[in-house]
Chains A and B, each alone.
Chain A
Amino acid sequence: MTSTIDSVHAPAARTPTPRADTPAPKRGRLSVANLSVAFRRNGILHQVVHDVSFCLEPGQCVAIVGESGSGKSVTARSIVGLTGKNSVVDAQSILLDGDDLRAATKRQWRRIRGRRIGFILQDALVSLDPLRPVGKEIAEALALHHWGNRRQRAAKVIDLLRAVGVPAPENRARQRPDELSGGLRQRALIASALALDPEIIIADEPTTALDVTVQAQVLALLAETKERGVSVILISHDLSVVAHLADHILVMKGGRVVESGSADQVLNDPRHEYTRSLINAVPSELTRGKRLGAAPSDTATTPAADAVAVSIAPRPTDHDCSGPVLQAVDLVKRFTTPDGTVTTAVDHVSFALERGTTLGIVGESGSGKSTTARLALALSSLDSGTVTLLGQDWSSLSEPRRRALRREIAVVYQDPLSSFDPRWNAERILLDSLTDAAGLSTAAKKARVVELARQVGLPQEILQRFPLNLSGGQRQRIAIARALAPNPSVIVLDEAVSALDVSIQAQILDLLVDLQRQRGLSYLFISHDLGVINHLSDQVLVMKDGVVVERGTPDDIFNRPAHPYTRELISSLPDHPRRNP
């Protein structure tokens, strides 16, 4: 067992290094036939996976792609027998190298997990025990399967960490996940799954919570693992993540496989409507100016188009000024951490948002982009610098004096649920946001709320529901309606589509584009997602560690990046599946 791992000692795994001299061992064949999974709740069975079949050849990668609720994770977990209490798994066969796993006892399962099938979950910050050093977690995988003695295990942990490209593994092994960077702890998680040299690795959204640059490193590491002959099952919501690793792709929707085929075929010649819409829904440079969602059917006209007839005309230009609607000059914001050190979250950031355009701010976590948004909204105090809204002083006003101007600038957050008072239904939330309608009668206000809902594509019935009972997309539409209600000039969108499934994200992005065209809105659009930024922005700011490292048109930024960091970001983007008309 040791010998196989010793051969793994690749130097830091930035790029996959194909090695022809190690022949792939002929193990790691998995075939699943007619897998169905149901959960029993309150005595009723709810089927979540229907008749899924696939075959994983040794050394290959099968990817299962789908949106939330598609059953992809449950499928993956049923392969290791961990679908949880109350689940009923039924399959014609689940064969791992000829052993039928359906018949496995609890004890046998425990010998399979970790030793024959390794499992990688998303976000090592919570997938590794946050109270223990990562080295202990890896050693635990070894100890559970009675590998070596304590000293051998300690040495092996260091080897494993080194093999997944963790520098100074002796020190890192003693640190807890929260003490490591996102990339290092994800590598440690992978090392714990690889510890016993399993035949198959199942990676469930292994890059989902990670920044793009780290995502690229983790994907390269997985590619290298596959190169060594380990079979990989990759679960993701993101076709582009899967694109350069998968040999075979299953597309799942509502618990069923809607399309299955070679990676090449599924990505380049998708047969199923849903696969096509998934690919088309991914925003990117190629989608600029185009709709991401399906063309609206004739039974229901586009909400936006419909709204033009009835509605509120584009804003009268009462604040007519030729300059930018929102301008920031030399914004600085410092935070004092609990241990007394001062960090500069936003460091001399300046920007100008022109009327009717979108300014995108892109950056990874900790880049200060969200703090910049809060400063623009005057929800945080500035340490220095000024923000001007519609040519008027904004940041230096006292809050009571600012209120009159507040209706000119609105905000939509990533998580709208927490921004709604749980006691209020959608109608009440929107009524409350009609800040410029003080004189109107209740009936007139209610009519405007219905109108607003229609503009964001929500039927009237939804208004009686409480946010808790709305889907993610519906919540985000309510949040947008609330932002529109006071008829603002500027909307700040802070990761507003980041938590949504790609097809719903596409609908919301389309809606935003429609609304902008129709009402002359200006957007300050904050996102970590380069594709979304590219799709939507007229101007782009790239932020890193609180500083704007580069600014320009999307064309400049994405095709001729000047700053090394921007270049690194762009090159980390996974290959994009081709768009299909």
Chain B
Amino acid sequence: MSTIERQTPPTAAVQTPRARRRAAPPAGLVVASGALLLFATALVAPGLLATHDPYALNLADALHAPSPEYWFGTDEAGRDLYSRVVYGTRESLVIGLGATAVSLTLALVLGALAALGGRFVAGTVNRVIEVLLAFPTLLFALLLVAITGPSALSQVFAVGVGSAPGYARIIRGQILSAKNSGYVEAAVALGHSDGRILRQHIVPNAVRPLVAIIALSVGQSIVWASSLSFLGLGVAPPSPEWGALLDAGRVYITQAWWLTVIPGLVIVALALAATTLGKHIQNTLEKGEK
């Protein structure tokens, strides 16, 4: 032991990271996790949270402002907005998650080909990604909706494909940085085979940050999808899907602000919660690597 240098640099340097690790998680993360838990409940068992029948018409109470009886107010047909938001969670989240699944699957395939393919394949795929990146996400999605016609399914597909090129580029970068890393070179120097290096180093190191990307992407997908609905190009209004709620409420903006503000707030809350979680995961991963 005595021949080993001091294992710890003196004073400050060691204690700090340890102290930080023990510190309570940031308040933002706690709030975000709580919000996500609520959304998950609304997804699985909306009946637990809802206070009214989301489809029950009650014209007597139409356009009722938020009150103890109607937490989020009522719409033009007297339906309870809070319950509609709760019941709309499932459709909104399914569209968001579906779009994320579509976009990340596509992005993984494109990104992997662009990073690991042979000279020709990688070059071509890279060009394709570059071309697709020239179409901003929402416009790309609109183009796809124009071909397929508006529907929930085309929303999933359009948002998924529309946001794929951006993620493809991120994934490509991650694979490339793993591929060009010192530890891969060290493995080459040890005489490990390409397959082993891919399996042991490149794939795990490139896939790990995906967790963060998934969280970020779910939030973004829901925002894009609701934008389509808002433009009247997604799920149609009688549905309690959040974007559709917005679209329906837009007509009454001068009389009933809550019909647009509250569903929008819910979307923002979900997107922010997902982003916060994603960023937190990303930071934790980065800290672990540096």
B68 interfacial by beta-carbon distance below 8 Å: no
Which chain B residues lie closer than 8 Å to A293 at the CB level?
3
How far is it, in angstroms, between the C-alpha of A418 and the C-alpha of B183 when the chains are bound? 6
Which chain A residues lie closer than 8 Å to B139 at the CB level?
none
Within 471-499 of A, Cβ neighbours of B (below 8 Å) are at 471, 473-474, 482, 486
B48 interfacial by beta-carbon distance below 8 Å: no
Which chain B residues lie closer than 8 Å to A415 at the CB level?
182
**A280 CB, nearest partner CB in chain B, Å:** 15
**A87 CB, nearest partner CB in chain B, Å:** 11
Q: B11 is contacted by which of A254, A297, A406 (Cβ under 8 Å)?
A: A254
Whether B182 pairs with A419 at a CB distance below 8 angstroms is yes
By beta carbon, the residue of chain B nearest A458 is B4
Q: Which 3 A-B pairs have the closest CB atoms?
A: A406-B191, A46-B12, A418-B182
Which chain B residues lie closer than 8 Å to A42 at the CB level?
16, 19-20, 23
A404 interfacial by beta-carbon distance below 8 Å: yes
Ordered by A's residue number, 10 sampled pairs between the chains whose C-beta atoms are within 8 Å are A41-B15, A300-B3, A418-B181, A421-B201, A457-B4, A471-B8, A473-B4, A474-B4, A482-B186, A486-B191
Which chain B residues lie closer than 8 Å to A420 at the CB level?
182-183, 186
Which chain B residues lie closer than 8 Å to A377 at the CB level?
189
- A503 in contact with B5 given A42-B16, A435-B192 (CB within 8 Å): yes
B200 interfacial by beta-carbon distance below 8 Å: yes
Within 156-187 of B, Cβ neighbours of A (below 8 Å) are at 181-183, 185-187
A432 interfacial by beta-carbon distance below 8 Å: yes
Whether A422 pairs with B288 at a CB distance below 8 angstroms is yes
Which chain B residues lie closer than 8 Å to A44 at the CB level?
15, 19
Having A379-B189, A432-B192, A432-B200, one finds 18 other A-B pairs with CB under 8 Å, namely A41-B15, A48-B11, A69-B11, A69-B13, A300-B3, A403-B191, A407-B190, A415-B182, A418-B183, A421-B205, A422-B288, A435-B192, A468-B288, A468-B289, A471-B7, A471-B8, A474-B5, A504-B5
Whether B191 pairs with A407 at a CB distance below 8 angstroms is yes
By beta carbon, the residue of chain A nearest B191 is A406
Contact with B along A97-128 (1 / 0, CB 8 A): 00000000000000000000000000000000
How far is it, in angstroms, between the C-alpha of A411 and the C-alpha of B11 when the chains are bound? 33
**A153 CB, nearest partner CB in chain B, Å:** 41
Q: A471 is contacted by which of B9, B181, B185, B208 (Cβ under 8 Å)?
A: B9
Interface residue tally for chain B (C-beta within 8 Å): 38
Which chain B residues lie closer than 8 Å to A482 at the CB level?
186, 190
How far is it, in angstroms, between the C-alpha of A411 and the C-alpha of B183 when the chains are bound? 12
Within 14-56 of B, Cβ neighbours of A (below 8 Å) are at 15-16, 19-20, 23
**A295 CB, nearest partner CB in chain B, Å:** 10
How far is it, in angstroms, between the C-alpha of A400 and the C-alpha of B182 when the chains are bound? 20
Question: B interface vs A, CB < 8 Å?
Answer: 1-13, 15-16, 19-20, 23, 181-183, 185-193, 200-201, 204-205, 208, 288-290
How far is it, in angstroms, between the C-alpha of A346 and the C-alpha of B192 when the chains are bound? 27
By beta carbon, the residue of chain A nearest B183 is A421
Which chain A residues lie closer than 8 Å to B288 at the CB level?
422, 468
Most chain B C-beta atoms within 10 Å of own C-beta, residue among A42, A293, A402, A507 = A42
How far is it, in angstroms, between the C-alpha of A409 and the C-alpha of B190 when the chains are bound? 8
Which chain A residues lie closer than 8 Å to B190 at the CB level?
406-407, 410, 432-433, 435, 482, 486
Whether B1 pairs with A459 at a CB distance below 8 angstroms is yes
How far is it, in angstroms, between the C-alpha of A68 and the C-alpha of B11 when the chains are bound? 12
Whether A435 pairs with B7 at a CB distance below 8 angstroms is no
Which chain B residues lie closer than 8 Å to A486 at the CB level?
190-191
Whether A473 pairs with B5 at a CB distance below 8 angstroms is yes
Most chain A C-beta atoms within 10 Å of own C-beta, residue among B5, B188, B192, B289 = B5
A299 interfacial by beta-carbon distance below 8 Å: yes
How far is it, in angstroms, between the C-alpha of A37 and the C-alpha of B98 when the chains are bound? 56
- A302 in contact with B3 given A410-B189, A468-B290 (CB within 8 Å): yes
How far is it, in angstroms, between the C-alpha of A46 and the C-alpha of B14 when the chains are bound? 10
Most chain A C-beta atoms within 10 Å of own C-beta, residue among B182, B189, B201, B205 = B189
How far is it, in angstroms, between the C-alpha of A458 and the C-alpha of B3 when the chains are bound? 9
How far is it, in angstroms, between the C-alpha of A402 and the C-alpha of B191 when the chains are bound? 8
How far is it, in angstroms, between the C-alpha of A349 and the C-alpha of B2 when the chains are bound? 42
By beta carbon, the residue of chain A nearest B287 is A468
Contact with B along A277-311 (1 / 0, CB 8 A): 00000000000000001001101101100000000
Whether B183 pairs with A419 at a CB distance below 8 angstroms is yes
By beta carbon, the residue of chain B nearest A476 is B5
How far is it, in angstroms, between the C-alpha of A62 and the C-alpha of B2 when the chains are bound? 33
How far is it, in angstroms, between the C-alpha of A405 and the C-alpha of B200 when the chains are bound? 21
**B80 CB, nearest partner CB in chain A, Å:** 47
Which chain B residues lie closer than 8 Å to A419 at the CB level?
182-183, 185-186
How far is it, in angstroms, between the C-alpha of A156 and the C-alpha of B181 when the chains are bound? 47
A39 interfacial by beta-carbon distance below 8 Å: yes
Q: A255 is contacted by which of B2, B10, B16, B183 (Cβ under 8 Å)?
A: B10
Which chain B residues lie closer than 8 Å to A146 at the CB level?
none
- A41 in contact with B12 given A411-B189, A423-B204 (CB within 8 Å): yes
Whether A379 pairs with B185 at a CB distance below 8 angstroms is yes
- A297 in contact with B2 given A47-B11, A411-B186 (CB within 8 Å): yes
Which chain A residues lie closer than 8 Å to B193 at the CB level?
400, 403
Most chain A C-beta atoms within 10 Å of own C-beta, residue among B4, B188, B289 = B4
Whether A39 pairs with B182 at a CB distance below 8 angstroms is no
By beta carbon, the residue of chain A nearest B187 is A432
**B73 CB, nearest partner CB in chain A, Å:** 45
Which chain A residues lie closer than 8 Å to B183 at the CB level?
418-422
Which chain B residues lie closer than 8 Å to A403 at the CB level?
191-193
How far is it, in angstroms, between the C-alpha of A39 and the C-alpha of B13 when the chains are bound? 10
Contact with B along A18-48 (1 / 0, CB 8 A): 0000000000000000000001011010111
Most chain A C-beta atoms within 10 Å of own C-beta, residue among B3, B6, B7, B183 = B3
Which chain B residues lie closer than 8 Å to A421 at the CB level?
183, 200-201, 205
Whether B188 pairs with A507 at a CB distance below 8 angstroms is no
Most chain B C-beta atoms within 10 Å of own C-beta, residue among A44, A46, A293 = A46
A413 interfacial by beta-carbon distance below 8 Å: yes
Whether B3 pairs with A303 at a CB distance below 8 angstroms is yes
How far is it, in angstroms, between the C-alpha of A411 and the C-alpha of B188 when the chains are bound? 11
Which chain B residues lie closer than 8 Å to A459 at the CB level?
1, 4
**A475 CB, nearest partner CB in chain B, Å:** 11
How far is it, in angstroms, between the C-alpha of A474 and the C-alpha of B3 when the chains are bound? 11
How far is it, in angstroms, between the C-alpha of A168 and the C-alpha of B6 when the chains are bound? 49
**A123 CB, nearest partner CB in chain B, Å:** 21
**B59 CB, nearest partner CB in chain A, Å:** 59
Whether A46 pairs with B15 at a CB distance below 8 angstroms is yes
**A308 CB, nearest partner CB in chain B, Å:** 16
Which chain A residues lie closer than 8 Å to B191 at the CB level?
402-407, 435, 486
By beta carbon, the residue of chain A nearest B181 is A418
How far is it, in angstroms, between the C-alpha of A410 and the C-alpha of B186 when the chains are bound? 9
How far is it, in angstroms, between the C-alpha of A415 and the C-alpha of B185 when the chains are bound? 13
- A471 in contact with B5 given A46-B11, A47-B11, A411-B189 (CB within 8 Å): yes
**A248 CB, nearest partner CB in chain B, Å:** 24
**B176 CB, nearest partner CB in chain A, Å:** 15
**A401 CB, nearest partner CB in chain B, Å:** 11
Within 438-479 of A, Cβ neighbours of B (below 8 Å) are at 457-459, 468, 471, 473-474
By beta carbon, the residue of chain B nearest A296 is B3
Whether A457 pairs with B3 at a CB distance below 8 angstroms is yes
Which chain B residues lie closer than 8 Å to A399 at the CB level?
188
Whether B2 pairs with A300 at a CB distance below 8 angstroms is yes
Which chain B residues lie closer than 8 Å to A404 at the CB level?
191
**B10 CB, nearest partner CB in chain A, Å:** 4
Whether A507 pairs with B3 at a CB distance below 8 angstroms is yes
- A255 in contact with B11 given A300-B3, A503-B5 (CB within 8 Å): yes
Most chain A C-beta atoms within 10 Å of own C-beta, residue among B2, B8, B289 = B2
Which chain A residues lie closer than 8 Å to B204 at the CB level?
423
**A252 CB, nearest partner CB in chain B, Å:** 11
